[in-house]
């Protein structure tokens, strides 16, 4: 059931892609942290649903009834997926960025926000107007917990929120979420978990972690683009102005007044992405029933990847923390003397391997850990096979040993081996 979808479209997963030589090879997608290809079960479910999508909450016709039921039922699926408390609200958004911006617009005035400076930009940037304390991320997890403790102790009285990623999108390392949540509690602070990278790899329990909010994206969870969610305590969200003004968010509009909904619809104005939401829910159900297999697959392939990378000279892995802890299957590194964009272009054109290069929407983290350069990122997922990793390792060895064989140029001519 957890097989990613196989299709004949030449640019999707597990199908053949052309190389510069004119040959074709099976595409090795090692960029799951950016977006994970659709699971076969998700695709089948969406296919079945497509004839029935219609306007939710707005029509009496059968298709509207089906859509409304699917949409509302998915709130429960997502609630279960993160083991939320019964009173927690589930608001559908476009993605994690949208969910974090919604939360940022909903915190009470004068909320103090505490976060690490190495967060993804989606978590780092939306807090304009709040009293933001950015902590320079310490080099080990214990110190990270103490740093949050000290930052919270320094906050003025009033509401406080800690924003924390569950897994780094740059290094794959897991953050000490439960420990930081416990510290947040001692200071009367709430905590929001950015689970964009954690949710595809590990079961999440809001109750066990004692976390107040969690945000995630469907397209990183093996569903197509377009749907994400914010799940958590409803009081701030009920009190906040609607995220978007428009139909669906209102109870009643008169010539002089608007009565806004209090429930999740308050922040979901406009016709929602019912197909995307359904796909997100099916993906959650698929993962939730298969965590042991998902984690075992990842550990095995990650061990293979790490063994192979350790043998390649001139590689420096990016790590937030010096201490070893659990991590997901995402590794970023630099290659001495080789520009990341160029390495990524060679991997694609010569070997049919897709990786990410750049600074991963986490500029502070990436540039600090590389001392100012961009990096390459390899990220594993359910579609990854041992053959993909072998091919990647072989390719990288060749690129490191004999990169001058290939000349690729950006339009400005700036790439050189």
Catalytic residue annotation: 361
Nearest Cα residue to 33 out of 199, 146, 192: 199
User: How far is 300 from 329, CA to CA, in rounded Å?
Assistant: 10
Residues 232-291 that bind ligand PMP (CB under 6 A): none
Please, which residues have CB within 8 angstroms of residue 325's CB and are 6 or more apart in sequence?
A: 141, 173, 174, 176
Query: Taking CB under 6 A as the criterion, which residues in 378-417 touch ligand PMP?
Result: none
Q: Report the residue number, 88 or 194, with the smaller CB distance to ligand PMP.
A: 194
Q: How far is the CB of 121 from ligand PMP (least distance, A)?
A: 8
Minimum distance, C-beta of residue 39 to ligand PMP, in the bound complex (Å) = 17
Q: State how beta strands 112-116 and 160-165 pair.
A: parallel
Contacts of residue 88, defined as CB under 8 A and 6 or more positions apart, other chains included, come to 79, 206, 231, 232, 233, 234
Interacting span for ligand PMP (CB under 6 A) from 50-58, 105-113, 193-201, 277-285: 193-201
Q: What's the min distance (Å) between Cβ of 51 and ligand PMP?
A: 28
- Closest to 75 measured CA to CA, from 288, 287, 284: 284
Residues 380 and 392: beta-carbon distance below 8 Å: no
Single residue of 137, 169, 348, 370 touching ligand PMP by CB under 6 A? 169
Nearer to ligand PMP, 260 or 321 (CB): 321
Q: How far apart are CA 78 and CA 413, in angstroms?
A: 47
Contact characters 196-215, ligand PMP, x per CB under 6 A: xx------------------
Least Å from the CB of residue 231 to ligand PMP: 15
- For ligand PMP, the closer CB: 320 or 393: 320
Strands (E) located in 136-249: 160-165, 190-194, 213-217, 228-232
Contacts of residue 150, Cβ cutoff 8 Å, sequence gap at least 6: none
CB closer to ligand PMP out of 33 and 181: 33
The single residue among 67, 89, 97, 370 that binds ligand PMP, judged by CB under 6 A, is: 97
The span of 40-48, 194-202, 249-257, 336-344 binding ligand PMP (CB under 6 A) equals 194-202
Q: Quote the CA–CA distance of 211 and 176 in Å, as a whole number.
A: 12
Q: Does 163 bind ligand PMP (CB under 6 A)?
A: no
Residue among 197 and 384 whose Cβ is closer to ligand PMP: 197
Of the candidates 286, 173, 275, 192, which has an alpha carbon nearest to the alpha carbon of residue 230?
192
Min CB(123)–ligand PMP separation in Å: 6
Spatial distance between the Cα atoms of 369 and 173, rounded to a whole number of angstroms:
13
Question: Binding to ligand PMP by residue 32, rule CB under 6 A?
Answer: no
Question: What whole-number distance in Å separates Cα of residue 368 and Cα of residue 365?
Answer: 5
Q: Which of 95, 118, 334, 379 binds ligand PMP (CB under 6 A)?
A: 95
Chain residues 108-127 in contact with ligand PMP, contact rule CB under 6 A: 120, 122-123
> Chain-centre distance of CA 324, in angstroms?
22
Rule CB under 6 A: say whether 96 interacts with ligand PMP: yes
Work out how close the CB of 399 gets to ligand PMP at its nearest, in angstroms, rounded to a whole number.
25
Binding part of the chain for ligand PMP, among 12-20, 64-72, 192-200, 256-264 by CB under 6 A, reads 192-200
Q: Does 165 bind ligand PMP (CB under 6 A)?
A: yes
Phi, psi angle pair for 317, to nearest 5°: -80, 145
Q: Give the count of beta carbons closer than 10 Å to the beta carbon of residue 109.
A: 8
Site string for ligand PMP, 357-376 (x = CB under 6 A): ----x---------------
Residue 199 · residue 216 · CB < 8 Å: yes
Among 88, 149, 173, 194, binds ligand PMP (CB under 6 A): 194
Q: Which of 74, 101, 118, 217 binds ligand PMP (CB under 6 A)?
A: 217
Between CA 197 and CA 331 the distance in angstroms is 13
CB-nearer residue toward ligand PMP: 91 or 123:
123
User: DSSP letter at 5?
Assistant: P
Residue 57 dihedral angles phi and psi, to the nearest 5°: 60, 10
CB 357 within 8 A of CB 374: yes
93 binds ligand PMP (CB under 6 A): no
List residues near ligand PMP by CB under 6 A. Answer: 95-97, 120, 122-123, 165, 169, 194, 196-197, 217, 361
């Amino acid at each position: 059931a957890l097989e990613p979808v196989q299709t004949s479209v030449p640019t999707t997963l597990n199908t053949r892609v052309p190389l510069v030589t004119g040959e074709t090879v099976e595409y090795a997608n090692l960029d799951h942290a950016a977006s994970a290809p659709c699971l076969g079960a998700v695709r089948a479910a969406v296919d079945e649903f497509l004839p029935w999508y219609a306007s939710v909450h707005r029509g009496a016709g059968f298709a509207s009834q089906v859509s409304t039921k699917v949409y509302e039922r998915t709130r429960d699926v997502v609630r279960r997926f993160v083991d939320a408390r019964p009173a927690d609200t589930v608001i559908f958004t476009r993605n994690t960025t949208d969910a974090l911006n919604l939360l940022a617009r909903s915190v009470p005035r004068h909320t103090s926000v505490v976060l690490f400076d190495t967060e993804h930009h989606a978590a780092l940037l939306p807090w304009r107007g709040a009293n933001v304390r950015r902590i320079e991320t310490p080099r080990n997890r214990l110190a990270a917990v103490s740093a949050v403790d000290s930052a919270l102790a320094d906050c003025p009285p009033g509401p406080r929120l800690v924003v924390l990623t569950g897994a780094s999108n740059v290094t794959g390392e897991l953050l000490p979420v439960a420990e930081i949540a416990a510290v947040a509690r001692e200071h009367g602070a709430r905590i929001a978990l950015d689970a964009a990278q954690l949710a595809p790899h590990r079961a999440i329990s809001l109750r066990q972690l004692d976390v107040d909010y969690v945000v995630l994206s469907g397209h990183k969870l093996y569903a197509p683009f377009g749907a994400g969610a914010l799940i958590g305590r409803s009081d701030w969200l009920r009190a906040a102005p609607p995220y978007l003004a428009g139909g669906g968010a209102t109870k009643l509009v008169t010539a002089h007044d608007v009565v806004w909904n209090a429930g999740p619809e308050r922040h979901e104005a406009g016709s929602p992405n019912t197909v995307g939401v359904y796909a997100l829910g099916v993906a959650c159900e698929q993962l939730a029933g298969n965590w042991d297999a998902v984690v075992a697959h990842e550990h095995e392939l990650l061990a293979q990847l790490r063994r192979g990378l350790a043998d390649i000279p001139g590689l420096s892995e990016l790590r937030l923390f010096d201490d070893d802890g659990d991590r997901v299957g995402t590794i970023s590194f630099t290659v001495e003397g080789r520009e990341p964009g160029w390495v990524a272009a060679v991997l694609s054109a010569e070997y049919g391997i897709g990786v990410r290069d750049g600074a991963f929407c986490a500029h502070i983290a990436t540039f600090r850990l590389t001392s100012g350069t961009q990096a390459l990122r390899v990220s594993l997922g359910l579609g990854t096979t041992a053959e993909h990793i072998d091919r990647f390792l072989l390719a990288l060895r060749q690129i490191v040993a004999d990169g001058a064989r290939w000349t690729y140029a950006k339009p400005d001519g700036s790439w050189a081996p």
